[in-house]
Structure 1
Amino acid sequence: MRRLSRFIDGRDETMYSFSLILIAFMHSHSSADGKTVSGVFRSDAAREHHGQYITRFLYHGDHGLMSYRLDNAPLAVQKEAKLLLFQTMEDFDNLSCLERVAGARLTITLSTEAHNESMPQQSSPHTWHVMYSDRYTCQEEALEDVMEGVGFQLVMLNPDSAGNPLDHFSGEEAGLHSFYFMLILAYFVACCIYLQPLWQALNKGGPMHTVLKVLSTALLLQGLSVIFNYIHMARYARDGVGTPLIGGIAEFCDMVAEVQMLYMLLSLCMGWTLSRGRKPQSRPLQWDSTPASTALALGAVFTQGALLIWEQFEDTEHHSYHAHHTVASLLLMALRLVLSLLLASVLYQIISTERSTLKRDFYLSFAKGCFLWFLCHPVLVLLSVIFNEHQKEKVITIGVILCQSISVVILYRLFLSRSLYWEVSSLSSVTLPLTMSRGPRGRY
């Protein structure tokens, strides 16, 4: 927390601290669904909901496997316990209890302590939903007593590259582990090349110092998220559970980066616009905060933070970038669209009244970085409808990470560009970092 605070100035410290506390509190209460699922089969829960929902898994290939282990097999036999597998949950709420049980695509009787069930062959990947049912699930009479539950462990496996059922990853997660590894490698190479010049630029200060610090913090948080996701999925590949805490920290890093970038981009745009009328020639293209711009940025930040927390409560699976399964996700994407329109309007006002070609180019490049950051998630969610079920999550996750990384690179190049940055600003070269007059010319 203290390290993060050093990258932001004093007036923003309270806002960031409050955001971090809220998100950390949310993660301490969230849970995760793994592909090795442990729990208790409960007759009362199955009776109340016409079947106790356990989990889902997207099988691909011809050698999928589902295995279970029970703590009390005789009690399961006494209850006539069974697992019901469905390939679709559409119109499920409109079915009666008996219709649900009879409509199961596959039924597995829980009659032994342990059992391995081979999944039916299928031509394309399909999601299977697992529910628990017993003799009391559809009973109309009230239960005389609450019977003891049956502890279980359920393991679902896809075929690996050799065709053996050893892969814990669901179909929509396959390949993400390798993607995170390649991304870590790319971050490492970029750090080796650009870390020293960037550190020197940050130490020099200048009018864009705050912007560069926020960008650096957002990039650092993105890198940490990638590392934590890789660690979580590396463990997940071995046991099907992974480390939910590490997965939660990865989401935490992503959300803090989102909050930081939102505050920075709104503050910059609104600060530029509101300051042009009262002092059009002083401090151009800087973080020129005003009470109005700060209030607007804080309002948007708290709204986004509330929606992010709501989204986590509605969708407890660990996804850094959720699709459109919940109301909170839809509202969050709508907020990003509204913010994009607001930024477009603000930047259009600036560009339309700007006479300098260099400054217009500066603002246009800045607009590209802004829109890429805000619009990549909604656009990719809309485009994902044309892909198959097992491809949607990978398209959204990989696409958002790459687009936001490109957005940060665009903004870095814009604010660190020696020629454009030097020529656009009307400040003295004595106060500018990365100018020809400070330090050796061939340093960068």
Structure 2
Amino acid sequence: MSCAFPALVLVLVALLNSEALGKSVTGLFGSEAARQQHGQVITTFMYQGDNGLLVCRLDNAALATEKESRLLLYQDMDSDLDNLSCWERISKAQFTIYLKEEEHNQSIPRQTIPTTWHALYADRYTCQESAAIPHHADLSFTILLLNADSAGNPREHFSAEEAGLHSFYFLLLLAYFIACCIYFQHLYQALKKGGPMHTVLKVLTTALALQGCAALCKYIHLARYSRDGTGIPLMGCLAKFWDMVSQVSMLYTLLSLCVSWTLGRGRKPQSRPLQWEQSLTSTAVAVGGGVIQGALLLWEQYSESESQHHSGHAQLSLPGLLLMALKVGLALLLASVLYQIVSTERSTLKRDFYLCFAKGCFLWFLCHPVIFFLSAVFNEHQREKVVTIGVILCQSISMVILYQLFLSRSLYWEVSSLSSVSLPLTMSRANHRGHY
């Protein structure tokens, strides 16, 4: 924990001292790319309400004029455009901005509901298949896409499906900070005393700390993104990395516990029930599941578009679907293992222990698939926020359930059958020592 504060200070200093880029999308308008795609795809943005604005800035307005460069705006561009000829496709644009000056401002009409707009580039060579393209340099551009802020001015860089995530991560960090202030001392004492579930508590704490780091990096990225439309890509990548490590560590913990409990039931002494005793089989199962999940998470992140600045929980992709299928499969595996344990367990306290553990496990694994499919009933611009916020909150609740289970001063003490000296947050001897 002592190393975290200097790192946090360095990150904040870098954030405050770094130069604002003041742009959303930068790149090159290319005649060859525009010809191949029947209009070079530049970006998409979901406008909402009034006073939407698109600003296009060029470095070489004279070259743009010579090439008869145009920026085409399409509202809800559908797949039917792919079946049209090049000239027909260009003529279908709702707005055509002729690029003749260094800066062009295009107002977007009022959107009664949030609507996705697509920006494409075309020039005089786009639809002339037989015409030779001169060896000119590509046009360098900067495009700003802005929604109206709370004051009605076009200064909000967030697309409609991203709006509100910045505030959510701020509230999440505030909740983490308050919880840390309240429970840090108790948790530190529990970890210091040790006990049969000491390893579980360490992994849970590590996973929670990684989630907090991911939320902090995401908030820093979105805070900058709200001002300049670019953000800090490094912080966005770090947020995804910490989240992936947290996901893998939690999966490893839950699988290890369930498999080790099943394998060790016949040989575990009654004075030490419910401990985490690793074996070759339990380790192999847990490591295998963690490796598969990590590979799918990496595949999912690399398959995302570079223009996406949000979490990607609601994105429909092959690795994302495989990841949700893996979570459902692991939930079924854990259900089978826990059913075998509970059906043969005579102790009511131990059955309650396992059932409470099952609630935390199922909530962790099934929240993403369930919320993802339930989000289909929401509008397009709400799905990303519903899935992202729902998954993070459900996983946080799952961690709270597991913490309560393993730190309970009554159920944990009775189930473990250990002396209160080695247990965290127990009442019997702590009162005599004045530590509770």
* TM-score, normalized by the shorter chain, greater than 0.5: yes
Tell whether 2:28 aligns with 1:40: yes
Match in the other structure for 1:117: 106
Letter in 2 for 1:363: Y
CA contact under 8 A between 2:256 and 2:282: conserved in structure 1? Answer: yes
CA contact under 8 A between 1:35 and 1:168: conserved in structure 2? Answer: no
Kindly state the Cα deviation for residue 322 of structure 1 after the two structures are TM-superposed: 2.2
Q: 1:74 aligns with which of 62, 65, 68?
A: 62
Match in the other structure for 1:393: 384
CA contact under 8 A between 2:224 and 2:232: conserved in structure 1? Answer: yes
CA contact under 8 A between 1:248 and 1:318: conserved in structure 2? Answer: no
Matched residue count = 415
Kindly state the Cα deviation for residue 168 of structure 1 after the two structures are TM-superposed: 1.0
Aligned partners of 2:294 and 2:112: how far apart in 1?
Answer: 42
Change (3 A) 1:144 1:114: closer
Tell whether 2:316 aligns with 1:319: no
Letter in 1 for 2:88: E
Change (3 A) 1:367 1:99: farther
Mapping of residues 214-293 of structure 1, within 5 Å: 214-279=203-268, 281=270, 283-293=272-282
Kindly state the Cα deviation for residue 280 of structure 1 after the two structures are TM-superposed: 6.2
Match in the other structure for 2:319: 328
Letter in 2 for 1:424: V
Match in the other structure for 1:361: 352
Change (3 A) 1:319 1:62: closer
Aligned partners of 1:395 and 1:156: how far apart in 2?
Answer: 24
Aligned partners of 1:331 and 1:142: how far apart in 2?
Answer: 46
Pick which of 283-292 and 87-96 moved more: 87-96
CA contact under 8 A between 2:193 and 2:422: conserved in structure 1? Answer: no
Aligned partners of 2:213 and 2:253: how far apart in 1?
Answer: 20
Tell whether 2:147 aligns with 1:147: no
TM-score, normalising length from structure 1? 0.89
CA contact under 8 A between 1:35 and 1:241: conserved in structure 2? Answer: yes
Change (3 A) 1:321 1:276: farther
Change (3 A) 1:96 1:35: farther
What is the CA RMSD across the aligned residues, in angstroms? 2.1
CA contact under 8 A between 1:344 and 1:367: conserved in structure 2? Answer: yes
CA contact under 8 A between 2:56 and 2:103: conserved in structure 1? Answer: yes
Letter in 1 for 2:188: W
Aligned partners of 1:94 and 1:3: how far apart in 2?
Answer: 58
Kindly state the Cα deviation for residue 93 of structure 1 after the two structures are TM-superposed: 4.0
Letter in 1 for 2:341: I
CA contact under 8 A between 2:30 and 2:138: conserved in structure 1? Answer: yes
Letter in 1 for 2:425: L
Tell whether 2:370 aligns with 1:382: no
Per-residue Cα deviation, 1:25-61 (whole angstroms, up to 9, x for no partner): xxxxxxxxx9711111111111222222111111001
Aligned partners of 1:104 and 1:77: how far apart in 2?
Answer: 20
Pick which of 198-207 and 105-114 moved more: 105-114
Pick which of 361-370 and 311-320 moved more: 311-320
Change (3 A) 1:174 1:324: closer
CA contact under 8 A between 1:43 and 1:147: conserved in structure 2? Answer: no
Letter in 1 for 2:368: H
Per-residue Cα deviation, 1:306-358 (whole angstroms, up to 9, x for no partner): 11111111103233342232111111111111111111111111111111111
Aligned partners of 1:189 and 1:67: how far apart in 2?
Answer: 42
Change (3 A) 1:411 1:145: same
Pick which of 102-111 and 70-79 moved more: 102-111
